Amino acid sequence: MIILRLLRRPAAASALTVRHAMRFSSQSTSGLGDIPDGSVVPPLPMLDQPIVPVDDPWVLVDAAQRLIEAVHVTTGLPWWATFGATAIAVRGTLFPLMVYQIKATERMAEAAKDTREVWKAYLYARMFLPPAIPQKQVEAFQLMYKGVKLTWEKHNTHPIQCVATPLVQIPTFLLMAYSTRELVRSGKVDGLDTGGVWLFQNLVEADSTFILPALAVGCTYLNFEVRRVENDSTAY
């Protein structure tokens, strides 16, 4: 009651307000006593500026270019021979993968007999399943797929193993081709303007005769034809 009476008086209320404000200000500034006068608070970093430097996203390209330069420095070959030797070396590292794919394909051919038997059993079982119940159809398909997987496990093979070489070879080819192209276009490597051979001494300039692209297409087509003939001969 006494406090209420004091608050009703204007002088007392103002006095209490002033005292409370003084006490609050003294408490809030007590923790700032260590900051010297005239100090400048450092500005906050902008949100659009990266605080941590972002890593180079082209790490694989840089590694491939360093590999090409290492082959050139180590062997002392001219640049045209360096590119050829690097391509042969990369292709040679993928040769075991090609052998692995060939063996997996042979095992898949052996598993095809059992796979056909599983497929025939699935088609025969579907004849007795009620078409109005889709769940039965799904269950039959799941059983068929499980049987196919068992045949793959029996012959130690898998469809992904049969396409292992293209899955690795195509990205590797694109990586090396792009890395070589950027290495030439960068202009930071010495000797490329005189590191060619025959009519193509300057490797920095584009081939105006289109002999090299035509030669590359012809070799690729010849490779496909040779493989097709070999496959036809082995089939018979």
**Cα separation of 121 and 143, whole Å?**
10
Dihedral sign (CA 54, 56, 57, 63): negative
Q: Tell if the pTM clears 0.75, that is, is over it.
A: no
At 17-60, the pLDDT tens digits run 444 444 444 444 444 444 444 445 445 444 344 433 334 458 99
**Cα separation of 135 and 131, whole Å?**
9
At 193-232, the pLDDT tens digits run 888 888 888 888 887 888 888 998 999 899 889 988 887 7
- Residue-level pLDDT at 234: 67
At 51-110, the pLDDT tens digits run 333 344 589 999 999 999 999 999 999 999 999 999 999 999 999 999 999 999 999 999
pLDDT tier for residue 236 given thresholds of 50, 70 and 90:
low
> What number is the average pLDDT over the span 128-135?
84
- Residue-level pLDDT at 4: 40
**Cα separation of 159 and 167, whole Å?**
12
* Residue whose tokens read 């590999």: 67
Q: Which CB contacts under 8 angstroms, 24+ apart, belong to 189-194?
A: 189/69, 191/78, 191/79, 192/79
Residue length of the chain: 236
**Judging by beta carbons within 10 Å of its beta carbon (0-12, 13-18, 19+), is residue 111 exposed, middle or buried?**
buried
> What number is the average pLDDT over the span 101-123?
94
Residue 177 dihedral angles phi and psi, to the nearest 5°: -65, -45
Q: What is the domain partition of the chain in residue ranges?
A: 59-205
Lookup: tokens for 44: 């906050």
pLDDT tier for residue 9 given thresholds of 50, 70 and 90:
very low
At 149-172, the pLDDT tens digits run 999 999 999 999 999 999 999 999
**Cα separation of 27 and 9, whole Å?**
27
**Cα separation of 140 and 135, whole Å?**
9
